[in-house]
Structure 1
Amino acid sequence: MKILVRNLDRSVTEAEVLDLFKTYGKVDSCVVVKDADTGKSKGFGFVEMSNPREAVKAVKGLNTLKVKGAGIRVKIAEDKA
């Protein structure tokens, strides 16, 4: 399951996001999206978890959690049409 993580502070690293999600289960991938020109975070990313039950628990547990002062938004990513 692909999970969208928004409202990340620009200083949050992929390792920090990975640590948040690992407490809920096995994480297959974790990416913080970066600007192609500056290499700086765009403030959102994606996490993939293969176990749907663990993914739903992670979404419920982490949505609105404060990370470096910002309440992150976590939800199941919607497939592009």
Structure 2
Amino acid sequence: MEQKNKLYVGNLPFAVRDEDLANMFAEFGEISEAKVITDKFSGRSKGFGFVTFASEEDAAKAVEAMNAKEVEGRPLTVNVARPMAPRE
């Protein structure tokens, strides 16, 4: 089942942290989680993350407004997150 309130956010500037990500999307509605994915060994950002909204409507507004928006000169990729394919 697809979770339409969880968004993938790609091409993030590497300095962006969880709190920064939440602040970027806060104007679109209540956020239940914002997570920047980091390398487990170095702790450095991998340049993408996920934002989970309380409602699908707020998530849809965020996709509409934030996809391709430039942040620190980088155009963001924002879309509904897809579940990871099971590993073989």
**Which TM-score bucket, shorter chain as reference?**
over 0.9
In the alignment, the residues of structure 1 paired with residue 84 and residue 40 of structure 2 have an alpha-carbon distance, to the nearest angstrom, of 22
State the secondary structure of the residue aligned to 1:58: helix
The partner residue of 1:47 within 42, 47, 51 is: 51
The partner residue of 1:18 within 19, 22, 25 is: 22
Post-superposition Cα deviations, 1:12-35, rounded to whole Å, max 9, x if no partner, equal: 121111111110000000000000
- Unmatched segments (≥5 aa) in structure 1: none
Match of 1:79 in 2: 83
Rg larger in 1 or in 2?
2
Over the matched positions of the two proteins, sequence identity in percent amounts to 33
* Greater mean deviation of Cα atoms: 26-35 or 14-23: 14-23
- Unmatched segments (≥5 aa) in structure 2: none
Counterpart code for 2:17: T
